Amino acid sequence: MTFRLHEHGVRVVLLDIEGTTTPMSFVYDVLFPYARARLSSYLRAHASEDELRDVLATLRVEWHEDARKGEDPPDWALADIPAAARYLDWLMDRDRKSPSLKRIQGDIWKVGFDARELRGELFADVAPAFARWKQSGVDIAIYSSGSVLAQKLVFADVIPLISAFFDTGVGPKRSVDSYGRIAHELRRPPEQILFVSDTPEELNAALDAGCQILLTVRPGNRPVEGPDTLDEISSFDEIV
């Protein structure tokens, strides 16, 4: 299909990352293992810092909630750094969108990007589309469960073309209210925002908030289950 931004009154393209701008394999086979292998050493190296202590205090609240719900998280005494690493591993095994986990992952990835051990990976059509949309007067924003820091690392090569970054600080990606907050931050009515994602539950939340939506079907993405009711694209070349 061809989706014409100006014909639909779109002024902002809001994008998911994994499975939309970036291959799933880069996230799950490169970024996640890189962070997982360095969790313990990162926690030990920064254990005396107030910033990490604050993050771990928030993480501890999440651990108590998991324990209260009977989800059987690994035992963790607050001062036990190896146990904190085990809990973070446990969250990663479940692909949890934990803000504390995402913050720690972002810090670890920054070290990797700064050392040139990591480099952002985008589908080939992404950078040309960003340039095309920007030139036509359409803004670009990113919304991911990964931290804003991590987002900026992934998009380092095209960051001048991006107007705004959002993470779960505005709310969960499957919550209608999150998209209302994003619209408020962007100072645009929801109907002028096109949200593009590979996850129907996220798209439906954005649609309920009044945004326009497109489903991305990329190589390596998980199959989409349920009724075929969402407009699909397989490349950003289809958004003009």
Cβ neighbors of 168 (< 8 A, separation 6 or more) are 97, 99, 102, 145
Assigned token pair, 142: 């990113």
- For 82-116, how does the pLDDT look when each residue is reduced to its tens digit (9 = 90+)? 999 999 999 999 999 999 999 999 999 999 999 99
Last residue of a domain, one of 114, 144, 161: 114
Last residue of a domain, one of 75, 97, 114: 114
171 and 98: one domain?
no
103 and 139: one domain?
no
Q: How far is CA 171 from CA 134, 144, 185, 188, in A?
A: 27, 10, 13, 18
110 and 190: one domain?
no
Q: Is residue 1 part of a domain?
A: no
Band (pLDDT 50/70/90 cuts) for residue 225 is confident
pTM over 0.85: yes
Q: Is residue 233 part of a domain?
A: yes
What pLDDT is stored for residue 78 in this prediction? Answer: 72
126 and 222: one domain?
yes
134 and 85: one domain?
no
How would DSSP label each residue in 55-76?
HHHHHHHHHHHHHHTT--PPP-
Residue 121 gets which letter from DSSP? -
d(CA 224, CA 226): 7
186 and 225: one domain?
yes
Last residue of a domain, one of 82, 114, 146: 114
Determine the structural domain holding residue 223 and report its residue range: 6-23+121-238
